[in-house]
Structure 1
Amino acid sequence: MMYSFTEEAVITGNVAKIWAVATDVARWSEWDPHEEESRFEGEFAAGAEGWVKPKGAPAGPFTIVAVEPGQSWTSEAGIPFGKLRGHRTYEPLGDGTVRVAEWVEVHGPMGPLFKLIWEKGMRRDMPRTFAALEKEARSRD
């Protein structure tokens, strides 16, 4: 059983700077209104592990499972009887803007519960996160 949803936005900025901010996991909680705390050590590559405490959700570890530098990355976290998978993409549109997207998959029997309890908050927070990403990337000039 799998449940998924996607959110996207077009933000202004340089894709390399946006990528650098988005993959600086240890600093997520400094700018992302969705994250209370985050930790990460080592290179941002498949197999690397981090830890995150989202607002309104349980804290826990995650693993980077795929990275296409400058373009996309995918992470997975264990949840009871399944896993939560997030795929993020960064697509330059050629006019100084970048399409950012996050696709969330919930695998296992927790899908309906996730939809009921957490999806609304995640969907509400994603546009705020995308706007904060744009602002943080600009501030690191």
Structure 2
Amino acid sequence: MSFEHAHTVTTAATPEAIWTLWSDPDTWSSWDPAVVAVDLHGGFEEGTTGTLTLAGPIEVPVLLAIVEPGRRYLDQLTLGDLVIRVDHVVEPLADGGSEVVVSTTIDGPGADDVGPVVTAEAPLALAALTAAAQEL
């Protein structure tokens, strides 16, 4: 089974400001209501692994599968037989500001049931992220 969801916002915040928050996992819990804590075993770079503590609390292994500094990162969470990939992309807008897209793909048994729960707070997280980025 597979589930896919994407959420897009535009913001006055610069791509650099968005990236500053994305690339600092210590800030994640301040703008993403699903995140309690992040413990990475290395820098914010492709291949780094760690543990993501989600509300519940639920601890899941996390892998930074793709990191394109200033533009994109994809984190991969493994929860039993489920693999959750969250792709974060920021692009500059011609008139200033940014377009931010967060896409979630879930593969494994029950993905269709878990997907709506996993992505329910995406709009809140993006609103808080962009508000915080505008303050930088």
Pair in the same fold by TM > 0.5 = yes
What TM-score does the superposition give when structure 1 sets the normalisation length?
Answer: 0.84
State the alpha-carbon separation in 2 of the partners of residues 31 and 78 from structure 1.
Answer: 22
- Alignment length (residue pairs): 136
Aligned 8 A contact 1:88 1:101 in 2: yes
Per-residue deviation, residues 67-120 of structure 1 (Å, max 9, x unmatched): 12111111111122231111111011122221111111111113133136x14x
The equivalent of 1:96 in structure 2 is 96
State the alpha-carbon separation in 1 of the partners of residues 28 and 133 from structure 2.
Answer: 12
The equivalent of 2:63 in structure 1 is 63
State the alpha-carbon separation in 1 of the partners of residues 112 and 49 from structure 2.
Answer: 27
The equivalent of 2:87 in structure 1 is 87
State the alpha-carbon separation in 2 of the partners of residues 77 and 31 from structure 1.
Answer: 19
Local SS of the residue matching 2:122: helix
The equivalent of 1:139 in structure 2 is 135
Displacement of 1:41 in angstroms is 4.3
What TM-score does the superposition give when structure 2 sets the normalisation length?
Answer: 0.87
Identity of aligned residues (%): 24
Task: Specify whether residues 56 and 99 from structure 1 end up closer, same or farther in structure 2 by C-alpha distance, changes over 3 A only.
Answer: farther
Aligned 8 A contact 2:36 2:57 in 1: no
Local SS of the residue matching 1:45: coil
The equivalent of 2:3 in structure 1 is 3
The equivalent of 1:34 in structure 2 is 34
Per-residue deviation, residues 35-82 of structure 1 (Å, max 9, x unmatched): 222223432111112322233572212000111211111111112223
Unaligned runs of 5+ in 1: none
State the alpha-carbon separation in 2 of the partners of residues 107 and 75 from structure 1.
Answer: 14
- Runs of 4+, deviation exceeding 4 Å: none
State the alpha-carbon separation in 1 of the partners of residues 57 and 8 from structure 2.
Answer: 21
The equivalent of 1:77 in structure 2 is 77
The equivalent of 2:24 in structure 1 is 24
Question: What code does the residue aligned with 2:132 have?
Answer: E
- CA-based RMSD: 1.9
Aligned 8 A contact 1:81 1:110 in 2: no
